[in-house]
Amino acid sequence: MAENTITLEEHLKDVEHDLRETILVFASLAAPIKKAFQTERGTAGTKNVFGEEQLALDKWADKFIIESLSKCELIKSVASEEQPDVVEFEHPRGRFSCTLDPMDGSSLIDVNLTIGTIIGIFESPTPLRKGKELAASMYILYGPMTTLVYTVGKGVHEFVDTGNGHFILFNEDLRIPTGKIMGPGGLKRDFLPYHEKFITKLEEKGFKIRFSGSFVADVHLILHKGGVFTYPALKTRPNGKLRLLFEANPMGFMVSQAGGEISNGFQNILDIQPEGVDQRVAIYVGDKESIDLIRQCSKETQ
């Protein structure tokens, strides 16, 4: 663990000014969002574009973050998991388009388990860009501690909120180890042959299951411990459950920056050109050994 005397602002000092400012805008939202956990409870009585019931905190966080971004002249648009279309801002100087999962894992809000906000930042007029074109990705984890992880394509760095949004360096230049943890989403009865073969091989290798129901927390665990998170294509869900823009790309870019990889079982997800904000994708994300194994299984078992 690096010396914890470096603040997020200091760590960002060599990052291009406007990108640094944009990252700091998102970081400034962590404390007020965490505080809202105590008041924004229960369901909102609405559904998002994916037909998923929205919780009060989903809606509140989405509204709060978008309103905050609307005040930042550097941001041109944002695609949010909780919005049907890209939200465009009247910012003529706007340089960055963002992707946002305001509250990933929100089914865990009522049981106080770790969930988070996932952010992708493109230097582009549109957020419909390939994951490998991200200028930055970051996520905020609302766990026992509030932590923030970011990358601008120069390594992965983790910070802890020491109180009221004052983030200090916790781990610098994180590298994903080779591990034996798997987070296998979906139902076994719906597994496709190549995925079933993959899971069987992992079990034979002695992989333990760690699946919390919060993608961002489960991937954070894999980032630290190694192994693989998967929410695969299923007989019932040919493109899996999770979203290309809001979950796969920002977290896949992050894990790739730490020496891991993200795949849909056949190709690197970061190479996929998004066709729409609601695009889902099968996800395998983790250490290279695990991603090599799924590629081998999918090749051998069509």
- Positions in the binding site for ligand FBP (CB under 6 A): 52, 81, 101, 104-107, 185, 213-215, 231, 241
Q: In the chain, how long is the greatest CA-to-CA distance?
A: 56
Least CB distance to ligand FBP at residue 240 (A): 10
Q: Is 296 helix (H, G, I), strand (E, B) or coil?
A: helix
Nearest CB to ligand FBP, comparing residues 185 and 265: 185
DSSP code at position 266? S
Least CB distance to ligand FBP at residue 191 (A): 14
Nearest CB to ligand FBP, comparing residues 42 and 153: 42
Nearest CB to ligand FBP, comparing residues 172 and 196: 196
Least CB distance to ligand FBP at residue 142 (A): 13
Q: Which of 252, 247, 22 is nearest to 122 (CA)?
A: 22
Least CB distance to ligand FBP at residue 293 (A): 21
DSSP assignment of 21-68 equals HHHHHHHTTHHHHHHHTTTS-SEEEEE-TTSPEEEHHHHHHHHHHHHH
Residue whose pair of structure tokens reads 């970051």 in the numeric block: 138
Q: How many CB atoms lie within 10 A of CB 300?
A: 10
Nearest CB to ligand FBP, comparing residues 99 and 106: 106
What are the beta bridge partners of residue 120? 99, 137
Least CB distance to ligand FBP at residue 235 (A): 14
Closest residue (Cβ) to ligand FBP?
Answer: 215
Nearest CB to ligand FBP, comparing residues 106 and 257: 106
Rg (CA), the chain: 18
